[in-house]
Structure formats: C-alpha cells, structure tokens
Homo-oligomer: A and B are copies of this chain.
Amino acid sequence: MAKRLTQQDIARMAGVSQATVSLVLNNRTDSGVRIADETRARVLEVIRRTGYVANPIARRLHDQRNRILGVFTYEAVFPSTRADFYQPFLEGIEEQAEEVGCDLLLFTSAKAAGGRRRIFNDDSRIRLADGCVLLGRSVDRDDLAQLVAEAIPFVSIGRRDDAGGPVPHVGADYPAAVRDLVDRAVALGHRKFAYVGAGTGAESSADRLRGFKQAVAAQGLEGTHVQFAGLDQLRGNGITCVLAEEVSDGAALVLAARERGLSVPGDLSVLTLGAATRPAPDDVALTGFRIPRREMGRRAVQALTEVLEHGTTPQELLACEFVEGTTLG
C-alpha cells in the first residue's frame, strides 16, 4: 500500500523546502511572505501531477479546533420509537453543522451503565468534540453541574435551571405559549380550566404549568392541576377547557369524550401543549402549539458556535407557533 505523500515529498520533487510548499498551498501573499512566480508554478505543477492533498489530521493539530461538534443524548437516537422526538431537532442540528463546516459526533460509546447513558463515566469521551449539544427531555443534574464546573463548551436544547452556574440553552417559550392558549380560550368564553400532566420534574413540564398558573391568575379565574385526566372528575368540577401536556393524553381525552357521546369542542375543549414523550394518534386535529424543534436545533448549534468563539453563555427561548385544530371552541 502506497504511503501517503507528504509536503516533504512534494518539496523534494520541486527542489524547495517544506515551508515553501505550505506557503504555496495556502496561497499566502500577506506581509513578509513572497514566492517567485516561477517557483510557485513549479510547486503547483508537482502538486497537480501527484494529486497531493494535505493531511487533514496534521492540519487540525495546528489550529486549536477540530471542527467536531458532539451530540449527546441519554438514549439511542435512531430507533423509530424515538424518531418523533429526536428527528426534528437533529434535522436542525445537521443543517447548521453543515453550514458552519463541522462534523457531528454521536456519543454512542457512552455505555449505558444501568440502561441510561451518562456523560461522565470512567472514560468520558465528551472532550473529543470542540463542544457539545445536549438533547433530551430531562438532563442529569450531576452531569450538568460537572459540565458547568469544568467549563466544557456546551448548549442544552431545552431550558435548564442553574446547575452551579447558568446553563447555556436554547429552549421553547412554554410559559408564553401556554398563556396564549389560555387567553384564547378565555376570549371564547371559557372560565374553568384544568391542566393535565406532570407539571414538574423536567423544566419543560414545570414551565408549562407555570405559564398556566400565571394566565389563570392574571384573568382571575379558576385553574386546577391534575396528573392524569379523569373525564368524570373534570366534568364534575364544571371544567370546560383542558390543557394536556402530552399530545397523546390530549388525543386520548378527545377520543374518550366522543366515545361517551360528548362533543369536542362543543361540551369540552381540549388543548395540547406539544409534549411528545409517547407516540400519539395523528387522526385527532388537536388545537395547541407547535414546538419549533428544528429551529431549536439550528439555534443550538449557532449558540454553541458563539460559546466556542466568545465564551459567552447564551440563553434563549424561541416562540411556539399556535396551531389551529378542531378541539377549541
């Protein structure tokens, strides 16, 4: 197997020094560097003849960037059961990575010590990348704290509470989106609301519930919070509008109501808050909002670029887009 050509080889063939080859190759014409046209031509001719291409490895060693961005997820990204959630984010990430000329490193080697991957284990490879995008509904708090403590350049997709310091993130503005939904419902005459879902745990859940509470408080209305949707219970309390954190919960509620002979949105309005932890039927046109997942992916990579270049700590919330369905009236 023919050994790869080096600049030294080219230099020898052209009867010049390795430095000259490098200068010609990089077309350096700035101050203090001059190569005679005749020499330049001779070197270029040898390069053309041999088809020499600079070894990217050696080249990267010199500047301080590998042009590799890491993508960390707490579970495998490709299984189709996870596709609904990860896919749109990754699409944006890939797009922007292509834009800035970086390759993406998926940390598949992070062995699941007990089912779930960890960023920091005895042989963490996180530093292989120049920086890292964190992807997942929730993020291990210890991992997060360590990332901050060790000043590893990273950006979380999804807002994160401080963890021993501010956490750079690109999230969705759930409070605003939920408030908007409540306000629309109020405008249509609704007065008694229920929030169905965890409302706690992951920041994304807490943010939604917070938006809900803010909205009902601002309107001076009643709003209750339950973990699970009990149709009878809701109806019994005179609730006319339900906000379901999970899309699948919302859809299930609509189907259950209709099965019971109730009209949606005639008797009950159901709004969804976009969470897609579980796959949901797509034959129910729920009213709610769309999480700008792809855009979040793009922005996360842009933010990471800023972190890498200026050492900043970007935090940004993107607006969610209202989706006109058939379940609000």
A residues adjacent to B (C-beta < 8 A): 1-5, 48, 50-61, 64, 66-68, 76-80, 83, 87-88, 90-91, 93-95, 97-98, 101-109, 111-112, 120, 122-128, 146, 150-153, 308-311
**B67 & A94 in contact (Cβ 8 Å cutoff):** no
Which of chain B's residues have a CB closer than 8 A to the CB of A95?
76
Which of chain B's residues have a CB closer than 8 A to the CB of A51?
120, 124, 126-127, 146, 150, 152
Which of chain B's residues have a CB closer than 8 A to the CB of A59?
123
Q: CA–CA, A310 to B64, complex, Å?
A: 33
Q: In the complex, which residue of chain B has the Cβ closest to the Cβ of A130?
A: B4
Which of chain B's residues have a CB closer than 8 A to the CB of A310?
1
The smallest beta-carbon distance between A297 and chain B, in angstroms, is 9
Q: In the complex, which residue of chain B has the Cβ closest to the Cβ of A44?
A: B122
Which of chain B's residues have a CB closer than 8 A to the CB of A150?
4, 50-51
The smallest beta-carbon distance between A68 and chain B, in angstroms, is 7
Which of chain B's residues have a CB closer than 8 A to the CB of A124?
51, 53, 56
Q: CA–CA, A103 to B104, complex, Å?
A: 10
Q: What are 11 contact pairs spanning A and B, CB under 8 A? A: A1-B153, A2-B311, A51-B152, A54-B123, A56-B66, A68-B105, A76-B91, A77-B94, A78-B90, A104-B105, A105-B106
Residue from A56, A98, A308 with most neighbouring chain B CB atoms (10 Å): A56
Q: In the complex, which residue of chain B has the Cβ closest to the Cβ of A307?
A: B1
The smallest beta-carbon distance between A151 and chain B, in angstroms, is 4
Which of chain B's residues have a CB closer than 8 A to the CB of A87?
78, 80, 83
The smallest beta-carbon distance between A320 and chain B, in angstroms, is 19
**A48 & B78 in contact (Cβ 8 Å cutoff):** no
The smallest beta-carbon distance between A111 and chain B, in angstroms, is 7
Q: CA–CA, A158 to B244, complex, Å?
A: 44
Q: CA–CA, A97 to B76, complex, Å?
A: 11
Q: In the complex, which residue of chain B has the Cβ closest to the Cβ of A103?
A: B109
- The 4 nearest A-B residue pairs measured at CB: A2-B151, A53-B127, A78-B91, A104-B106
**B123 & A56 in contact (Cβ 8 Å cutoff):** yes
Select which of B55, B76, B103 is within 8 A of A107 by beta carbon. B103
